Every structure is written in structure tokens, then in C-alpha cells.
Amino acid sequence: MLMYLRLFKESFSFAINALKNNKLRTFLSLLGVTIGIFSIIAVLAAVDSLKKDIKGSISSLDNSTLYIMRFSFGPSDIPQWKRQQFPDVTYEEFQFIEDRIPDVEAASYTLNVKQETIKYDGNTVENVEIGAVTSGYYDIESLQIAEGRFFNASESNSGSPVVVLGDEIAKSLFGQFDPIGKIVRLYGRKFTVIGVLEKEGSGLFGGSKDTAALLPVNFVRRLLGDNNKMVFPAIVVKPKSGVDLSEFNAVVTQGLRNFRGLKADEINNFFVNELQGFTDLIDNITGQLNIMGWIISGFSLLVGGFGIANIMFVSVKERTNLIGIQKSLGAKNRFIMFQFLFEAVVLAVIGGLVGLVLVWLISLLMTQLTDSFEFVLSFGNMVLGFILSTIIGLVSGVIPALSASRLDPVEAIRTGM
């Protein structure tokens, strides 16, 4: 064991000397490893960060939540031209599901509408995300109210002019003043502020309710109409805890088929999307991004491996005389082989560590520049980078190490003279 520790120490010294004595050559050789490790770990870290951000934005939702609409979350066997003919879900269908479908814990009818401008006295906030929803949305999203309350079923059904503001919108309009009971203008109408949501923090793609205003969907329906092609309706359904999701999905699907009067031989003209299916789609997409990153970065690692092999062949040639002397003094082939193999590993690990440091520095910079996005460099990815560097060193150094261990001592000494 002590012999291998001494061997590793000597190999480390030789590697450092190679860095010192042949700076440009060693730098160019290690550049491939550095770029390869940097590329792979940067891609993995970026994809992990992206996945965390997207899933964090839907973390308040239960994976069993269903989204009923005329669009599908994922690929569909139904031709696009036929999907384009599907009707939008209606408020009456929402009422049917809420009242007639068993095991529904909460349901909400939502309209996806364009951003609006909200005003209070002389203060104006533009590009406000409008959440036109029913009262059940509160339970589906598990909303946290910082001040005031959410609108109730009566206000929701009647389409009362009340609004719940996101944290950032409330602060922009009212500053340190209490917003509850204040009158704001939206859609050219007056709304009473009845609640403010707790601060969430925004994600890479937005989606935070800090910049949103939630109001009763029936108010927006009266204002824009049910046949407005500029809005996109959906029914969100959360089943009771412990309900079998596949059975619940089948009951909802059959119930809506019956409501629409579809015949047995007719296909569904709507989609019941599971949130779990959306998260699976995210995993699939990020998995494909990881594979693409591995393929592209693999070429850099290949170049880096050739660079390490090249510098090791040069090192063997420069130290041929020393190898002959070591073998003449009794050094075994295994000792010589491990000496150069360790040296190759040390060089590769140095290149890999430089790549990891670059990823870490860029992750800090990206996190500082984008307040809404946290770039995550996990410990697992750092360990992976270290392991890859070691493997590159082993693979790249094995042939030069074997050639060094097989040198004839007499010929090696003679060559060096």
C-alpha cells in the first residue's frame, strides 16, 4: 500500500513538472478534457436547473390533478386537422363535473386571457397576468393568502368585481399601504381588492402569481363572451385523496361524453390531461436534452483523450533513459506502468477540475444575473465530472503506460544516451 502511495506521489510530481516545463503543450492537451467536462456538466446542470424550475412552478398542484381542454399535453394519435375542430370546454360542462361527478375534491373553470394593465390612482402596472378562475381554484392550487381572503362561491358565481393581487402587483400599486378594500381599475372597470397572495418568487418562464391578478371567471365571461376565440378555457379537476386516478379519469371522460351526447363509435372530442403526464413529458424532454448534451460533449472528451495520450507518449519518449535505469535497478513492469497511468489520471483530473470550477463560477454568475432562476450545480454532477476525468485519464494513459513498461532496459538506457 505504501508503495502505491509513493508511486502516486511521484506520478503527481511528474504531472506537475509536465505542467511547469511544457506549459503550452500541456495546456493545449488538457484543453480538450476541460472543455469536454465543462460541456457535459454544464448541460447536465442546466437541464437539472430547468427541470427544477418547471416542476417548482407546479409544485403546489397535486400530480393527480386533471386538465380538461381541447388540447393535449403530449403527442396524440388524433390528426391535427381533427383536433382543430374540437370545441372548447364550457362553463356548463364545468358545473356538470363539479356537481355530478363523484369523488371530486375541487374543480375550477379557468380562462387563459391576455395580459392587462391595472391602475390605482397615479400608479400603473402593465403586463399583469390575469387569472380568470372560479372559487375552487383556491383549493386546487393550495393558495397562500398574505392579507385578506380569496373570493367565495357566491362572488365567483355572480362574477362580482373583486380581485386578489399577487405580491409584486400589490407592492407596485400600494407600496407600504394596506391594499385591502382599495379600488383598482382593470378592463376599464372598478374592482375591489379583497386579498393579496404570499410572495412566491418567479421562475425562468414566469408563471409566478406574484405578477398576477385573480378575479372571478364569470366577470370575464360577461365582458368577453363565451365564443371569444382570444380566450382559452380549461376545466381543472382535483380528485379526492386515495381515489384511483385511472378509474376517476374514466368516470370523468364518460361523464363528459354523455354530456356532449357522443355516440359509442365516436372518438372523444376533448382531452383529459393528467398533470402526472405533464411531469413525465418534462422528464422525457430533459432526458433527451441530456442525451444530446452527452453526444455533443463526447466529441470534446474524445479530443481531450487524444490530447492526454499524446502528452503521455511524449513523456515516455523524454524519460526513456530514466525508465531503463529504473528497470535495471529492479523496477517491475507493473511499477513502470502504474507510474505513467497515475500520471495520465492526474493530468486528466486537473483538466476536469478546471472544467468543474468554470461551471461553478458560471453557475454563480447566472444565478446572480437572473434573480428569477437558480442555476443548480449538484454534488452528484460534480462527482460525475471527477469520475469522467479519471476514466479519460485511465483510457488515454493505458497504451503509453504499457509501451513504457515493456521497454527493454538496455535499449532504453542506450536510447537515452
pLDDT in the model for residue 98: 92
Candidates 207, 205, 272; CA nearest to 245 is 272
In the chain, where the domains are located: 2-57+281-416, 87-269
Considering only CA atoms, give the Rg of the chain. Answer: 32
The whole-number average pLDDT for the span 356-363 is 83
pLDDT in the model for residue 205: 38
Average pLDDT, the chain: 81
* Most trustworthy range by pLDDT among 229-238, 319-328, 369-378, 389-398: 229-238
Confidence of residue 65 (pLDDT cuts 50, 70, 90): confident
Q: Which residue has the higher pLDDT, 22 or 69?
A: 69
Burial 365-400 (b: 16+ CB within 10 A, else e): eeeeeeeebbbbbeeebbebbbebbbebbbebbbeb
pLDDT in the model for residue 412: 65
Q: Which residue has the higher pLDDT, 366 or 34?
A: 34
Q: Which residue has the higher pLDDT, 152 or 227?
A: 152
* CA–CA distance, 216 with 195 (Å, rounded to integer): 13
Three-class secondary structure of residue 238 per DSSP:
strand
* Location of C-alpha cell 497511468: 341
Confidence of residue 78 (pLDDT cuts 50, 70, 90): confident
At residue 202, φ and ψ (nearest 5 deg) are -90, 160
Q: Classify residue 257 by burial, with Cβ atoms within 10 Å: 0-12, 13-18, 19+.
A: middle
Q: Which three cell numbers stand for residue 347?
A: 493530468
The whole-number average pLDDT for the span 189-196 is 94
Burial 327-341 (b: 16+ CB within 10 A, else e): beeebeeeebbbbbb
Q: 121 pLDDT exceeds 60?
A: yes
pLDDT in the model for residue 97: 93
Q: 348 pLDDT exceeds 90?
A: no
Q: Classify residue 268 by burial, with Cβ atoms within 10 Å: 0-12, 13-18, 19+.
A: middle
* Most trustworthy range by pLDDT among 45-59, 74-88, 312-326: 74-88
Q: Which three cell numbers stand for residue 323?
A: 525508465
Task: Classify the C-alpha dihedral 123-127-128-132 as positive or negative.
Answer: positive
The pTM for the full model equals 0.61
Q: Which amino acid is at 18?
A: A
pLDDT in the model for residue 37: 81
DSSP 5-32: HHHHHHHHHHHHHHHHHTHHHHHHHHHH
pLDDT in the model for residue 197: 92
Q: Which residue has the higher pLDDT, 100 or 35?
A: 100
Give the percent of the chain with pLDDT over 90.
Answer: 29
Q: Which residue has the higher pLDDT, 248 or 5?
A: 248
C-alpha pair distances (Å), 46 with each of 39, 53, 96, 309, 376 = 10, 10, 43, 30, 7
Q: 380 pLDDT exceeds 70?
A: yes
pLDDT in the model for residue 270: 92
Q: Which residue has the higher pLDDT, 286 or 111?
A: 111
β pairing state of 66-69 and 212-216: unpaired
Q: 15 pLDDT exceeds 70?
A: no
Q: Give the residues across from 132 on adjacent strands.
A: 111, 215
Three-class secondary structure of residue 172 per DSSP:
helix
DSSP 292-346: HHHHHHHHHHHHHHHHHHHHHHHHHHHTHHHHHHHHHTT--HHHHHHHHHHHHHH
Least confident of 150-159, 199-208, 258-267, 338-347: 199-208
Alpha-helical segments (H) within 132-271: 137-141, 153-158, 167-174, 217-224, 245-260
Could you count the other beta carbons within 10 Å of the beta carbon of residue 168? 20
Least confident of 72-76, 96-100, 104-108, 399-403: 72-76
pLDDT in the model for residue 204: 39
Q: 191 pLDDT exceeds 90?
A: yes
Cβ atoms 28, 310 nearer than 8 A: no
Three-class secondary structure of residue 106 per DSSP:
strand
Residue 199 DSSP symbol = P
pLDDT in the model for residue 159: 92
pLDDT in the model for residue 280: 66
